[in-house]
Structure 1
């Protein structure tokens, strides 16, 4: 029986907005359950991209002709839209990047190099994506900092008591994921931020998985940095956002040198541009920045709370159905999760599971999900992961369960 939220959203009508879903794979209708890697794009976003290239493609900020002014206005309108989406205090606090990874690296290579040094401690968590591990390891090797890690319990939740023990006057930076990409765990980031600020540390929150599922308010969180990627909230690939508090961004040196990030260049000296342009060297990803405004408007039109409720309904249903499969073990049983479910099956490698499901037209993600330390914590090499979006249905979950029964029949 359908839930009330499905009736509210009219999922079949929404599915018609996503042309990629209307196809067969290996002779079966496509079931797309790889949304944590990237979700599909609705027609309004696709049309926003084509309108830019067909109607006002031009480089921005420097031109005075009509197309350049039109492109600049659309580009900066997206900045204001993101400011509203995050409830940032100032529009200058929104830096356009090429994705979450780029944003984390920007902070590590600018704030980290300027303000962190030998003996300073950086805290991350066991459930981090490699993108929120490797940049800090690189910084520690270069600057002599010390990396510390918050442990995870058997349910896939951070052990906050252990986090508190790690905090000290030596803690200078904390960087944690808002939502785990591999487990779906929603972390108590407000508490993490407040505790870090209590010892004078600066905090970055990786919002790659949270941005399309949770209501965000960077002022209420009081986070110093927040990063996310557009392609995980129904927007284009290759475009992301770094939010930073204005006073912190002002104190950071530029990340890259080139056009737009300068005020004046001579062979003797260069003076840098104001925020946010100080961090946006070169010709940016204009079309995709323009289209992200449309993606945010699309989500707002559906209602973010409605999307989240629908995905939670699917998660509950999938958890119940998969739990009935003998030999299947769900990895990550946190009390608070988004629509991500990962599992292992006795005697069956996750890659074999993915291949056989693909033969049935079902797209899932297999492997370590760029979270190898987390997989090691659970004593596994990887999982099969299904992740849900607004266009997914319970019928598709039923097809997944049927597909997994076929996997077991073939492999055992």
Structure 2
């Protein structure tokens, strides 16, 4: 069964507006479009229930119920209990708060492993713990391929390791790392495995309880929702962390790792992600017996098949450009490489390439995308110009890719 792109795009208001529909959108890794199911819930909350939630009066009760639906939607997507989730303003902020919650557990000389492939959100917050005596060690990419080798991690992990912090999918290289192998290696020495799923979550559904991860973070504004960061923690781990919210909220699951009040309307609108996925499921499949996590997995399988075919068309077009250098694997694969493609062209500034594509109403960007350490390791020292990044998701049509391939060919 193939993904019905026409049905998918019909769910997005942006594609029915002549001013915005002209763009072939390939900057989805920076933030995805939002379907009407999410837009409608956000609009409804602001219009009718924009009050302090969880109070005794009718509007406040309704506001709280809408927020709980948002928590349940994210829990259902991961296959976990809603009490295991913290919904903060962004993944970067959630990582910072998490690092502060873990800090009291660390003793001077305890080691933290980070990569130089990650977004800075999953590096900088851990580097700061060196101020308190932690030793931060770097799992480094191959400077030619951008890949992380499991064998290199083996040489870093030891009895002093307390945290292994890594990305499930690089926002530059596009590689889907073997998270189960990393988790096994961390657990073998009693360390926690902390995964950044921001660039993974738009493409695949994670079974959180089978993943081996102890903590997992991703962003809903890159998974077709509002601007929220989702942080999941295994109950046994959450119970050990120092609460970061107000002292009188330390026993409230959604508040103990949230220093600020939750974003009411944005959280309520997350229930629209479930409604959107369910609309796609009902359109493509007949079996209604599955739970939401299983339904999501089947829908995202369709996404992955479509994205992989189109990504390989784009990769082939880039390989045909003289002087082009693709970061990471040269072929996309459902379980190996996401449809996030970074490249440079010898003799051309990345900004000039982007300008020429944008002139054709093809939305792309250049820069370091908050993965400056990765670019430096790859030998790209002009961070402002950086790499050209093309990132597609399931709503990108064949026609979008046709236009992009033509534009690349003209380079």
Relative to the length of structure 2, the TM-score reads 0.88
Contact 2:158 2:189 in 1 (8 A): yes
Contact 1:23 1:30 in 2 (8 A): no
Structure 2 counterpart of 1:96: 87
1:222 shift after superposition: 2.3
1:304 is the counterpart of 2:300 = yes
Out of 4, 12, 17, the residue aligned to residue 18 of structure 1 is: 12
Alpha-carbon separation, structure 1, partners of 2:136 and 2:259:
30
1:402 is the counterpart of 2:398 = no
Structure 2 counterpart of 1:127: 117
1:48 is the counterpart of 2:38 = no
Alpha-carbon separation, structure 1, partners of 2:222 and 2:13:
17
1:345-389 Cα deviation digits (max 9, x unpaired): 111111111122112211112111211111112111421011111
Q: 1:379 to 1:23 in 2, by over 3 A?
A: farther
1:49 shift after superposition: 0.7
Structure 2 counterpart of 1:85: 77
Contact 2:313 2:405 in 1 (8 A): no
Q: Which runs of 5+ in 1 are unaligned?
A: 264-271
Q: 1:300 to 1:310 in 2, by over 3 A?
A: farther
Residue correspondence of structure 1 range 176-255 to structure 2 within 5 A: 176-237=166-227, 239-255=228-244
Structure 2 counterpart of 1:267: none
Structure 2 counterpart of 1:68: 60
Alpha-carbon separation, structure 1, partners of 2:259 and 2:134:
28
**Bigger shift: 127-136 or 290-299?**
290-299
1:152-176 Cα deviation digits (max 9, x unpaired): 2333321110101100001011110
1:24 shift after superposition: 6.3
Q: 1:108 to 1:28 in 2, by over 3 A?
A: closer
Structure 1 counterpart of 2:251: 273
Structure 2 counterpart of 1:39: 32
Structure 1's consecutive aligned runs of 4 or more residues displaced over 6 angstroms after TM superposition are: none
Alpha-carbon separation, structure 2, partners of 1:164 and 1:283:
41
1:86 shift after superposition: 1.0
Contact 2:172 2:371 in 1 (8 A): yes
Contact 2:11 2:35 in 1 (8 A): yes
Contact 1:229 1:240 in 2 (8 A): yes
Alpha-carbon separation, structure 1, partners of 2:34 and 2:409:
31
1:358 is the counterpart of 2:344 = no
Structure 1 counterpart of 2:99: 108
Alpha-carbon separation, structure 2, partners of 1:231 and 1:399:
26
Structure 2 counterpart of 1:317: 313
Which secondary structure does the structure 2 equivalent of 1:299 belong to? helix
Contact 1:21 1:32 in 2 (8 A): no
Structure 2 counterpart of 1:341: 341
Contact 1:22 1:29 in 2 (8 A): no
Contact 2:14 2:21 in 1 (8 A): no
Structure 2 counterpart of 1:384: 388
Alpha-carbon separation, structure 1, partners of 2:108 and 2:28:
40
1:23 shift after superposition: 5.3
Q: Which runs of 5+ in 2 are unaligned?
A: 281-298
Structure 2 counterpart of 1:329: 325
1:375 is the counterpart of 2:375 = yes
Q: 1:216 to 1:377 in 2, by over 3 A?
A: same
How many residues align structurally? 384
Relative to the length of structure 1, the TM-score reads 0.88
1:28 shift after superposition: 9.4
